[in-house]
Structure 1
């Protein structure tokens, strides 16, 4: 089942760390089949408040997400982000098609 790494980056301190991190992250995703599906960009807030940016990275399954995050290549750049930004990161499984809202009741 497709899985996602989702980050809500509320604040990032500008600096050279960002170019270093962004310049290296793509190579960490490739071995695990990861690809950006949302990477910042303008959001249209329709309810409440949304400070910051949304990042969503798709992977073939949860095992690939965990493999990427724990990989030496990603761990080598992780502190660039965590030391210079305020963000929440979660891993979540997608749903299989066709999925209905009531499926969560079973």
Structure 2
């Protein structure tokens, strides 16, 4: 099942560290079959405050997403970003093929006795 690394970042001023991070991140993802799904796009905020932007990476599974994040190559790059760009990073599993939210709602309804 596809897994995602999602970053909510608030970029500040562009500098050499950030450019190096952007130049080198893909090579840290390649061994884990990671790819950019969203990068550098302007967000369209529909509800609530959302300062900054979002980056979404896709991996074949959560194991490879975790292995990429923990890899020495990526760990070496992290300070280039965190020294200059505040934000949060999460890893999350996607839903399986054929996922149906109505079935989830029914199970939650039954569990809650509603």
Q: CA RMSD in A?
A: 1.3
Report the alpha carbon displacement of residue 92 of structure 1 after superposing the two structures with TM: 0.4
Matches within 5 A, 1:95-106: 95-105=95-105, 106=107
Unpaired stretches in structure 1, ≥5 consecutive residues: none
Deviation at 1:102, TM superposition (A): 3.0
Moved over 2 A (4+): 10-14, 102-106
Q: Deviations over 1:13-71 (max 9, x none)?
A: 42111111001001000000000000121121121222101000000001000110111
Aligned partner of 1:75 in structure 2 is 75
Name the structure where strand makes up a greater proportion of residues.
1
The corresponding residue for 2:51 is: 51
Larger Rg: 2
Deviation larger for 28-37 or 41-50? 41-50
CA distance in 2, matches of 1:103, 1:30: 36
**TM-score (normalizing by structure 2):** 0.86
CA distance in 2, matches of 1:12, 1:102: 41
The residue number in structure 2 matching 1:6 is 6
Once residues 103 and 87 of structure 2 are traced to their aligned partners in structure 1, the CA distance between those partners, rounded to angstroms, is 31
